[in-house]
Chains A and B, each alone.
Chain A
Amino acid sequence: MTETPLLELRGLGGGYPPISVFRNIDLSVGMHESVGFFGPNGHGKTTLLKTVAGLIDPWEGDIIFAGNRLNAEGRMRARTSKNLNYDLFRKRRIRAETVVNAGLIYVMQGNLLFPEMTVEEVLDIAPLAAKGRTGITAMRQRVDDLFPRLQERRGSKIRYLSGGERQMVSIAVGLLALPQMLILDEPTLGLSPKLRIELAQAIRKIRDSRVPLIIVDQNIEFLTGLVDRLFLFDHGSITREIDSGSMPKHAEIMTMMFGEAN
């Protein structure tokens, strides 16, 4: 790749102290590229993405987005005493607000959103992050076109929505922040095959409108048509990178990761 990368991770490591979840993550995603993450449950994909989104402090390494470093420089200081309130002195090393304002939007997995708010209320506050930027009105129109079902459920509280509808609201909220890049964490988790196809179509439309995507999924067939490159994630590090030309079948990947016994 010759173009400058939009998102670049350099030697990123992190986790929930004292447990290290992922380490030495190096990857770059280009301006007009969509990539997929694939790997078994509990291997640190979501923790990595939460760190990139600014919810969790990275331990080491850098997160660079559109040429700017989003995290504080250096490594995280280890906690050496249990008695002092270190949080008082230790600043957050990355803040979700910085990441969102830079245009990197993370759509959480299995999103509960705000159970007691209506769809309309949620979509109303979604563009607050992008306040003052142009294109919000156009994006509202696009969201209505992408998810006509949300128009019908405008007055319903989020907790009465189905899993698929909730996922649509989550993605709509992400889009309304006018993303430079959108991260979708297991968007099809727990959805019926029919809804999965519907959602895949919507995601393809988003990709075709040249919003770079990072998609995490357990289903390789779902990812194959959507992404240009695929990263295999195993025990907290990226073990393999696959180009779209040589995208393997689900079974092949399983063999690759778990051996013939699978």
Chain B
Amino acid sequence: MISLDTFLFILASGVLLGGLYALMATGLAIVWTTLGVFNFAHGTFVALGAYIAWQVTQSVNGGMGFLLAAALSVIMMYGIGYLLHFVLIKPFERNANLVLLAVITTLAAASIIENHILIGWGPRDKQIVPPVSGAISAFGASINIYDIVVLAVALFSLLAMALFLRRTSIGRAMRAAAQNREVAELMGLNVSRLYAMTIGLSAATAALAGVFAGSLRFINPTFGTDPLMKALIIVILGGVARFTSPIYAAFIVGIAESVSVYFLGLYWAPAVLFAMMITVLLIKPEGLFGHRSRTL
């Protein structure tokens, strides 16, 4: 048997991972539910967000620098996501093969962004310095204060996003465009702009996830591969029936990952997660928290 503090340590790191994954997966899920396409460039949004933040922290030090870096990264990635809609998806939206074409264009964008990161920032590992340090101990296990901050901010951002989509007119218009494009157009809503805003919002959450991930581990040009894979597993595992489905799934995946890393080792963790995903696909293809519809 494992001791209580080991158990708590595994649980805590799993929950932290879950918070980060929830940010990554929700962004992917809102694009999937709204536009009906899968964004393979989502992982590179995480990476690019991390690099932008790192660049800012090079010029401004300390806690203020980190805040400024995070804010600039989120705002810039919103803009980049917004513009990319008009390059990657809009030109093909009247094509019957939109889903397939979007796979190709977003994969191309992922490759182009990744290589430009390599050209611009070089291959060497970098790390964003976390703004707070220190740890608190509870039940014999010590937990980093920064981990708690990351989890809190991640959950707060998701809550803010949910409220934005439910309570504000623009958020409601975005959901309307996601649920019935034709009727949204007949209401005079500018659906293209709402779609672009959805991708922007998705890229902004990816950037926030990137800033946090980049301060917890090292960033390099292929930094986006792992988040994309995890987000993919989560979205399939949890389904996209509700805004919260991928969030629950993210915590399941986070905890499953830290458990399997402890008991089976780092290299077996992805195998365990994919096995979980395949099992769910076989038994309940619409996802653990899904039913046969996709909505925002």
Residues of chain A at the chain B interface (Cβ within 8 Å):
53-55, 85, 87-88, 96-97, 100-101, 105-108, 111-117, 121-122, 124-126, 128-130, 173, 177
On whether the beta carbons of B185 and A114 are closer than 8 Å, the reply is no
Known contacts A87-B95, A121-B172, A101 near B183 by CB under 8 Å = no
* Distance between A187 CB and nearest chain B CB, rounded to angstroms: 15
Q: A96-B185, A97-B189, A116-B179 are in contact. List 4 more A-B contacts (CB 8 A).
A: A100-B188, A107-B186, A117-B176, A125-B169
B134 at the interface (CB under 8 A from A): no
Residues of A within 8 A of B166 (CB): 121
On whether the beta carbons of B95 and A85 are closer than 8 Å, the reply is yes
On whether the beta carbons of A111 and B183 are closer than 8 Å, the reply is yes
Residues of A within 8 A of B172 (CB): 117, 121, 124-125
* Distance between B279 CB and nearest chain A CB, rounded to angstroms: 28
B85 at the interface (CB under 8 A from A): no
On whether the beta carbons of B186 and A108 are closer than 8 Å, the reply is yes
Closest residue of chain A to B179 (Cβ to Cβ) is A114
On whether the beta carbons of B188 and A97 are closer than 8 Å, the reply is yes
B92 at the interface (CB under 8 A from A): yes
On whether the beta carbons of B183 and A116 are closer than 8 Å, the reply is no
On whether the beta carbons of B189 and A128 are closer than 8 Å, the reply is yes
B115 at the interface (CB under 8 A from A): no
Total A-B residue contacts, Cβ distance less than 8 Å: 81
Residues of chain B at the chain A interface (Cβ within 8 Å):
91-95, 166, 169, 172-173, 175-176, 179-180, 182-190, 293, 295-296
From B91, B94, B95, B183, A114 is in contact (CB under 8 Å) with B183
Closest residue of chain A to B175 (Cβ to Cβ) is A117
Residues of B within 8 A of A122 (CB): 176
Residues of B within 8 A of A100 (CB): 186-188
Residues of B within 8 A of A108 (CB): 182-183, 186
Give the distance in Å from the alpha carbon of A122 to the alpha carbon of B166 in the complex. 11
Give the distance in Å from the alpha carbon of A6 to the alpha carbon of B184 in the complex. 25
On whether the beta carbons of B180 and A105 are closer than 8 Å, the reply is no
Give the distance in Å from the alpha carbon of A39 to the alpha carbon of B169 in the complex. 39
* Distance between A258 CB and nearest chain B CB, rounded to angstroms: 32
